[in-house]
Amino acid sequence: MAITDVEITKLKEMCPVAGDLDLGTLIRNAESGGLVAGDGVDITDGTVSTVVDDTTVAIGDDGIQVKDGGVDTDQLADGAVTADKLDSGVALIEDPLGGPAAGERLFRGQVALAGGNPTSLLFSAPSLAATLLSSEDGPFALTVGNTFIINPNAVGNQTWTVTGAAGTSTGVAGAKTDMSAEPETKLKVAVDGGAAVSFTFDWTAGGGCNTGAKVAAQMQTVIRVQGGDFAAVTVAYSTDHYVITSGNKGTTSAVVVTPAADHDCSAELKLGVANGGTEAAGTGDVPILARAMAAQVATIIDALHAQIVAVAEGTKVRISATGTGGSSSLVVGNGTENTELGFTNTQSDYGNVGLGLAKDMANATYTVMLTPVTNAPGTSDVISAYNKATTGFDIYAETPTAGLLVDVLVVGTPAA
């Protein structure tokens, strides 16, 4: 059915709008009672409805309402929520540091703890081996039977027990014991590889050397006066023969008796190879135990285990463990030779762990956060950072379990 001009005029009177509109718009306006839907409003079949996104705003039983969880920080104006608007049971947490300082950076890593405290971390330096340096200088005076104990990389105690024996010159049975009236008073003695020295004895001393014991005592007294390696020589009469013993122990310890150029008494005393005697070199871990050099001691310690590296560092001994980082460790046991060698009971060192950073820190005011990585929920342990320096810091753990992984976060300013 066609709409007449009169009907169009009536529609315009019912729905007054500015300007000329086409017939369809006029009809829709008429259907809506003359209303025009704006933004967020919908008119359908004469019904006006609110358009909602159902994310922030929703239609509820009582009308339009904020959707549960629909308001977050994106919908809040800066400074809209202040302390006086919060419930009394809500604490307002403020940043006491005022935010990160200019130039600060965050560094993160993960390290394995050593088997004891501390585990030392280095920022830019590479991981290093555990190492100990003796506090005493060689030569060292070693004592037979004393021990040095070291445990590398937790493999177990490795023990060095000092061994050594002195060189001797042993005479033949039937040696003369009454020398009080003898004119032969001389013989030559060399000890520990040194030059032979001629000695003259006074057989009349002490009322006369008329027993084996008195003869031996006179010989010992005169020989010791020479000093040096002769100072600790001993002479003894044993049943039917004389024995001269070096005062030193070790592989170069020795006593050699030879006849004097005149007034020789070695024949009467039956001493020296020329008179049928026997001479035995000393034994031991080093040439002379009383003056063991740093290099000699280092060689012995180095041979205790494949995971020990020992070298002489000047006149001192440096002991290192193989490997680097937290898996490299040294623990000194309660040895009886520790003091002489310059180590202490239970002394320890653990390898430094390099974090692999390009630079050290500009200062020691950086912040360290440590989190043990554990498979045992609910367990706790105290772990802290100490001895902070620009090059690194130490980790101390209440229970320093070897190999325990620790997450490390460092916030600080790197060096220029």
Q: Does 337 share its domain with 188? A: no
Residues of the domain holding 364 = 105-126+353-412
CATH number at residue 380: 2.60.40.2080
The reply to whether 93 falls in a domain is no
Residue 114: which of 405, 371, 326 has the closest Cα?
326
Read off the pLDDT of residues 262-319 as tens digits, 9 standing for 90 and up. Answer: 999 999 999 999 999 999 999 999 999 999 999 999 999 999 999 999 999 999 999 9
Q: Does 170 share its domain with 228? A: yes
Q: Does the reported pTM lie above 0.75?
A: no
The reply to whether 241 falls in a domain is yes
Pick the last residue of a domain from 284, 314, 329.
284
Q: Does 172 share its domain with 276? A: yes
The reply to whether 136 falls in a domain is yes
Pick the last residue of a domain from 269, 284, 299.
284
Q: How many domains does the chain have?
A: 3
Read off the pLDDT of residues 323-336 as tens digits, 9 standing for 90 and up. Answer: 998 889 999 999 99
Full pLDDT tens readout for the chain, 416 residues: 455 555 556 655 655 554 455 555 555 555 555 556 666 666 676 666 777 777 777 777 777 777 777 677 667 666 665 555 544 444 444 444 455 566 788 888 888 887 788 888 999 999 999 999 999 999 999 999 999 999 999 999 999 999 999 999 999 999 999 999 999 999 999 999 999 999 999 999 999 999 999 999 999 999 999 999 999 999 999 999 999 999 999 999 999 999 999 999 999 999 999 999 999 999 999 999 999 999 999 999 999 999 999 999 999 999 999 999 888 999 999 999 999 999 999 999 998 888 888 899 999 999 999 988 875 555 567 899 999 999 999 999 888 887 788 899 999 999 98
Read off the pLDDT of residues 349-374 as tens digits, 9 standing for 90 and up. Answer: 998 888 888 899 999 999 999 988 87
CATH number at residue 213: 2.60.40
Q: Give the pair of three-digit tokens for residue 221.
A: 């007294």
The reply to whether 251 falls in a domain is yes
Q: Does 224 share its domain with 269? A: yes
Q: Does 337 share its domain with 358? A: no
**Interatomic CA distance for residues 221 and 228, integer angstroms:** 14
